[in-house]
Amino acid sequence: MPAHPESEQLAAILRALKNRSGLSYEALAKRTDIAGSTLHRYCKGTSVPQDYGSVHRIGTVCGASPDELRSLHRLWALADTARLKENAEDSGKESGKADGEDSGAVDAAVADTAVEAPVTPGPAPARRSRYSVAVAAGAAVLTLGVSAWVLSTNEASSASHDDRVLFSAACRSVVAMGQHDTCVHEVQQLLSDKGADIGVDSDFGPQTLRRVTAFQVFAGLPPNGVVDDATKEALYSSSKVRLNVWSPEKVRQRIRAEFKEAPDKAVAIADCQSFLDPLHILPNTNGTRNWGVFQISDARLRELGGTPRQALDPAWNIGAAKRLWSENHDFHDWPHCERAADAAASPTGRP
């Protein structure tokens, strides 16, 4: 399979970072926990990573700057979208081929049945023939009418897209991390219209990434943080998706009500984890994510029987954190923030 232009650009940057780092493929494989043969394919552009986590690990190990990591995220998004589109087209071709084969088999079966059917003498067949012709003609007219209606509907639908910025020529590709233009401005404005706490500054940074990902969760889309065609369509059409959240004060009150035994420390840990933002989403370098007020990890979420959508509900998230705390009556699930909370509580800055 020939490489996409997007994957070639991604591969070129990965090669440049690898060469700059001075690491061999073997050394890079050990540090990133990615097979050497897989790294070769990524750097040659013949394979696109299934998730951004792999790209991020390579970039981080090779010393990529924040700007370079943002560029890597955007290039990966473009390459991944191209790969998925090609896979869908290939599936469509295979499906069409299969349909054609099935149709031929049906035609052959009909032909065999026609040959074996007994012939009834007399005028009755002629009457049935005229009736069949009339039915066929009526069906043809109906089919043409329906086809014309569908065509006109599709044309009207396409025309209605013309005034939507994200479907304009300027925003033809995906909108992703590191981008700064009118396409990002439109994404941010649409999210803001849905109640999201977001700055409309045309800069696709971490906060926009978090809000896009949260929107995708609520809209039932793959939460990859990349504004592809499905996400664009949902931003315009999903009127029921709202991104209004609890205020920090309400989050703080709920935490104190749940963690009666250690309210101050629980609030301090949640503040450290998410700034008390119910829609805070943190992507990890291994492709997993942490969700919501207490940043419940994907692994913990599975153990608790929850979903990302539930994890973004502050009431559920705080209750889940209390369940984790209740296992040993400690905050071992949040070691970094627990140490920070203990240090803040100490007058000398020491636990």
Task: Tell me how far apart the alpha carbons of residues 22 and 237 are, in angstroms, rounded to a whole number.
Answer: 49
Domain contains 125: no
Residue 128 lies in a domain: no
Candidates 341, 347, 344, 349; CA nearest to 262 is 341
Domain final residue pick, 201, 217, 237: 237
Domain end residue (candidates: 199, 216, 237): 237
Domain count, the chain: 3
Q: How far apart are CA 141 and CA 187, in angstroms?
A: 44
* Size of the chain, expressed as the number of residues it contains: 351
Separation of alpha carbons 164 and 141, rounded Å = 36
Asked if residue 224 and residue 261 are part of one domain, the reply reads no
Q: Same structural domain for residues 227 and 256?
A: no
DSSP string for residues in 31-81: HHT--HHHHHHHHHTS---SSHHHHHHHHHHTT--HHHHHHHHHHHHHHHH
Exposed, middle or buried by CB within 10 Å (0-12, 13-18, 19+), for 15?
middle
Out of 82, 115, 134, pick the residue that ends a domain: 82
Residues 219 and 300 in one domain: no
Is residue 183 in some structural domain? yes
Please indicate, yes or no, if residue 57 is contained in any of the structural domains: yes
Looking at residue 93, its pLDDT comes to 63
Please count the other Cβ atoms lying within 10 Å of the Cβ belonging to residue 290.
20
In three-state secondary structure terms, 142 is helix
Question: Does residue 212 fall inside a structural domain?
Answer: yes
What tens-digit pLDDT sequence spans the chain (351 residues)? 446 777 888 889 999 999 999 999 999 988 888 888 889 889 988 888 877 778 888 988 898 887 788 778 878 877 877 776 776 666 666 655 555 544 444 343 333 333 333 334 444 444 444 444 444 444 443 344 444 444 444 444 444 445 899 999 999 889 998 899 999 999 999 999 999 999 999 999 999 999 999 999 999 999 989 999 999 999 999 989 999 999 999 999 999 999 999 999 999 999 999 999 999 999 876 778 999 999 999 999 999 999 999 999 999 999 999 999 999 999 999 998 988 777 666 554 444
Could you tell me which residues are beta bridge partners of residue 227? 175
CATH number at residue 265: 1.10.530.10
Distance between CA atoms of residues 198 and 288, nearest Å = 23
CA gap 148, 302 in Å, rounded: 49
The pLDDT value given to residue 320: 97
Using CA atoms, how far apart are residues 268 and 306, in angstroms rounded to an integer?
24
Q: Cα separation of 78 and 81, whole Å?
A: 5
User: By residue range, what is the domain housing residue 74?
Assistant: 5-82
Residue 219 belongs to some domain of the structure: yes
In this structure, the answer to whether residues 252 and 271 fall within a common structural domain is yes
CATH of the domain at 37: 1.10.260.40
Given strand 281-283, what is the order of strands in its sheet? 281-283, 289-291, 296-297
> Would you say the C-alpha torsion 207, 208, 212, 218 has a positive or negative sign?
positive
What local confidence, expressed as pLDDT, does residue 190 receive?
A: 98
Strand partners, 35: none
Which pLDDT belongs to residue 215?
98
User: Does residue 228 fall inside a structural domain?
Assistant: yes
